Structure 1
């Protein structure tokens, strides 16, 4: 398998929706609300936010769609670059935050092991 995700996989979207219509409609309603053009947040900024989220969730299809949408909405390459580094900083920060959790869990496990042994 040379490519895990392929653009042609998107052709399965209608089938996925058909297989789970209620869930699909709920998802599509949320997606529609998030991507609306009449919100307080301008379209360009919605797309830059969407790119940053897509980078952290690592959704190739979302990165593709929202980067194209951002270009149409007037975003610049510099804005895309800043969104990349903002997302990466926050993603790294989340790793540190989860590292604090791991450290506490380790301490709790070590304490429990000491009580047992």
Structure 2
């Protein structure tokens, strides 16, 4: 089952579809705003920006976002080890269980066996 470990994935994606269909101008403005901040907001390189987003998603405990940002970090050229380091760095601030949830998402995303 695809991404079954993201709780309420269908509901989340349905809600995204709803906002896109019913409020497309607002959704597009939001997406453009995020894109501008990501690309023109400062001097950080692409990989660093995605690693920060992985860490922020981890701290916020939003699994859908954690998985999305892990994928985008990987696509941007971040290694598995770099992504894991970004997740591990959250433990002192966000707590060990929070970090462990994101680490599990990374392991699942990388198709590693759970032991």
- Normalization by structure 1: what TM-score? 0.60
| Cα shift readout 1:48-91 (whole Å, capped 9, x = no counterpart) | 00000000111122112111111111111211121111112222
| Cα shift readout 1:2-28 (whole Å, capped 9, x = no counterpart) | x74225631432322344456534532
Structure 2 unmatched ranges of 5 or more? 1-5, 96-115
Indicate the RMSD between aligned Cα atoms, in angstroms: 2.7
**Greater mean alpha carbon deviation, residues 32-41 or residues 73-82:** 32-41
Bigger helix fraction: 1
Aligned residues: 90
Q: Describe the shift of the 1:12–1:59 C-alpha distance in structure 2 as closer, same or farther (beyond 3 A).
A: same
1:52 aligns with 2:55: yes
Aligned to 1:88: 91
- Normalization by structure 2: what TM-score? 0.61
Q: 1:69 aligns with which of 58, 68, 72?
A: 72
Secondary structure class of the residue paired with 1:67? helix
Provide runs of 4+ in structure 1 moved above 6 Å. Answer: none
Structure 1 unmatched ranges of 5 or more? 93-117
| Cα shift readout 1:85-115 (whole Å, capped 9, x = no counterpart) | 11122224xxxxxxxxxxxxxxxxxxxxxxx
